[in-house]
Structure 1
Amino acid sequence: MSQDQIVVTPVSGKKGRARFVDLGRSFAERLPHSVPQLRSEQMELVDPGKNPFFGHARAQLFIAERGGTPVGRISAHIDELALAMPAEQGFGPGTGNFGYFDAEDEAVAHALLDAAEGWLRDQGMTRSLGPISMSIWEEPGLLVKGQDHSPMIMMGHHPEEYRGWIESHGYAKAKALLTYELDVTSEFPPLIQRIVKSGERNDRVNVRQVDKSRWDEEVAIVLAILNDAWSNNWGFVPFTPEEVAYAGKKLKPIIHEQINMIAEVDGKPVAFMLTFPDINAVLTRVKGKLFPFGWFHLLRWLRRPDQANMRVPLMGVMKELHNSRLASQLAFMMISQIRRNAVKDFNAERGEIGWILDDNQGMVAIADAIESKVNREYWIFEKKLG
C-alpha cells in the first residue's frame, strides 16, 4: 500500500468511538482559540447506549488514515424524525447527514465525504446535509466567520479551510446560522426600555424566573413551548420524551434561576429564554480534564460563576403570538431581566445570542434592536446524491 494512499475505515464499539473522539480532540488542540471539551461528554454523545438521539437515528463513524496515521474523521447519520419533516423545512424524505468533520487536507476531506455519502446512498438517501454533529440541537453548521475568538458553550469551532474543501466536493450553502454578541454592561436603547416598562405595567403579563425546586415541571413547560414555537422553523426536529429527560438532567447544573425566564400571559406559559454561563472559560483553565483537580474547579465555578460571559442558546414564543407586538415585547422583557441579573449576580460583561437563522426576521430584528452585532456565522451545506 502506498504511503500516500488514503484509507477510510468504518469504526464501531467502545474502542472505535474512543479513537474517533480522541482524533477530534487532537484536531481541536491544533486550532487557535479552540476550547478543550470534557472527553466524557464527547464520548457520551456518540454512544448509542447513552444518547437518546439514537432512539430515532442510526449512524456510522469513519476514520481516515494515510500510511497508518489517522488524518481525519467523519460521521454519517440518518434521523428518522427528520425524514418525517416537510422538505421545505430543511430535512424531509431522503435527507441524511454528515458531521464530526475533521481533515488533514483537501484530499482527506474528499475521501471522508465520499465515504459518508456512500453510506448514506446505501441507506437509500438522496441528499446529504451537514455538518450536523449529530442532532440539529447539538452542534449544527460549519464555522465560516469568527475563527479569531473562542466559541462559547456548545458552539463548534472549525478552521477556515474546511469551507473550501466541502464546497469543492460539490456542496452548496443550504442555510446560515448567526450568533450575535453585545456588551451587557450597557443599558438597552431608550425605545427598548420603554417597551419593557410598558410590559411590566401590563397586569396580564408576568415574566418570572425558572424555579429549580420543580425542575421537571419547568423543563416540560420549556420543551412544550419550544416544540410549538419552532415547529415551522427550518431544521426543526421535535424532542422526544427521552430527549427531554436527558436534556433536563444535563442542563440542570448550568441553570441559574435568575438568568432563565418563563413569560406568562393570563397565567399561561407562552415564552421562555434560556441562558447559560460560558463554561468554556473554566474548561480552558482545566484543559478539558476532570482529573486530578478539574472536578474541584468545575464544581466550584458552576455553583457561583464569576465574571462569566453569557450565552442565550434558545428562546421561543408560542405560535399563537407569532408576528404580534406582544411576542417581541415578551422577548425584550426576558432579555432585559437576564441582562440586569447577569451583571448584578455574575459580573458578566459580554453576552451572545444564537444561533439564529439568518432569515428569521423576527429574531434578527430583536438582535438589531438591542444593538448586538454578528460575531460568528455557521453554514449548513447540502448536496444531491446521484
Structure 2
Amino acid sequence: MIQQRIHKIQASLRGRGLDAILITEPSNRRYLSGYTPADHGIQESSGVLLIPKKGGPFLLTDSRFELQAKEEAAGFRVELYRKGLSLLLKTLLPSLDVKRLAFESHYMLHSSVGRMETVLGKQVELVPLTGLVEQLREVKSEEEISLLRASVRRNEEVFQQALGRIKTGITEIDLALALDTTMRQHGAERPSFDTIVAFGANAAKPHAVPSNRVLQENELVLIDMGLVLDGYCSDMTRTLFHGQPDSMFLERLRTARKAQLAAVKAIRAGAVCRDVDQAARQVINDAGYGRCFGHGLGHGVGLAVHEAPRLSPRCRKRLRAGMIVTIEPGIYIPGWGGIRLENMAVVRDNGCELLNEDTTGLDL
C-alpha cells in the first residue's frame, strides 16, 4: 500500500515538472512511510522524507531515530544529517539530478526554507506546495476504515469504563485524567486531542479546558474524547446529565440528536459538504437555537483528528465514497451550558455507515 502511495506522489511530481519533494508534516510522513515518531514541535523534526520523481525514496533523520527509521520505513534509504538537513541535501540532491525541489509550505518554517536557499544556492529551485499528500489521504482504503473502526470501538470501551467515575464531587480535570489513563491502559498510543470534560455552564465553551470545577447534583456533563490506535484517530462527544434531567435539557438534547440524524440522512457520495451541514443546521434553526450553533457540523478524521473534508457552511467540496467524517451538531448557551453529540461515519455510494455503536444519551 505504501509503495502505491509513493508511486502516486511520484506521478504527481512528474506531472507538475518537479524533481522531488520534501515531506515534513508528521501525518503525511507516516502515511507515506510507516515511520511513526512524532515531532515535539515544528522546529524539532524527527525526520524528513525525500521523494524523487523516480527511484527509491529517502528518510532523512538524525542519530536519535536511526534504528527506528530502519525498522519502520521499509523500502526507504535512511540517511543521517549530522550537520543539519540543508547540508545533507546539498550533498544528496546533485546525485539525484534534483533542480526543482518542492516542500510542504504549510508546515515548513520560513526560516528553514531561507536556510536551505542559502545552502543550496541557485542550483536548486525551492517550490512551495500544499495539499499534495492530504488529497490522497481524504479517501480511505477499506484497510484504513477497519483501523478507524477499531479506534472508534476502543474509544467507546474507554468511555463506558469511565462512566462509573461520574459522581458528585469529581473534578473535570480528574475525569479527563481518568479517561486519558484508561486509553493508555487499553493500548492507545495517546489521546488524539486534549480530552474535553465540561460540567454545567462550562459546557457552553465548545473547546472547554478541564478545570478544578467540581461536579454538582443535577448538572450536565459534556465529554469530547478520542484516541490514537495503530496511528488512526477516533473522536466522539457525549452529553449526559448527572441527576434527574429537566425538560429543558431533554428538549435541547433531542434537538441536537434530530439534527445529527438529519445529517446522517443527507450524507452520501456526491453530496455537497455545506448541504450536509445545512441539513443539520436547519433543524437547530427551526428549534430556535440557530445562534447557538456557531461551528461547522464536522470534519474528516484519519491519521490526524482534523483533516479534510469539512462539513461547514462554506465548504463546496463534494463527498466521495471512503471519506470519513464526524457529525457533531451543538447547542451552546452562555450561563446554562452546552450540548454536543458526535459520531463518526464512512461516506458510501448510497448513504453512510456509522462507525459508532455506543448510543449513550442518543436513544431518547
Could you tell me the TM-score, scaled by structure 2's length?
0.29
Greater strand proportion = 1
**Higher relative contact order (CA closer than 8 Å, sequence separation 6+):** 1
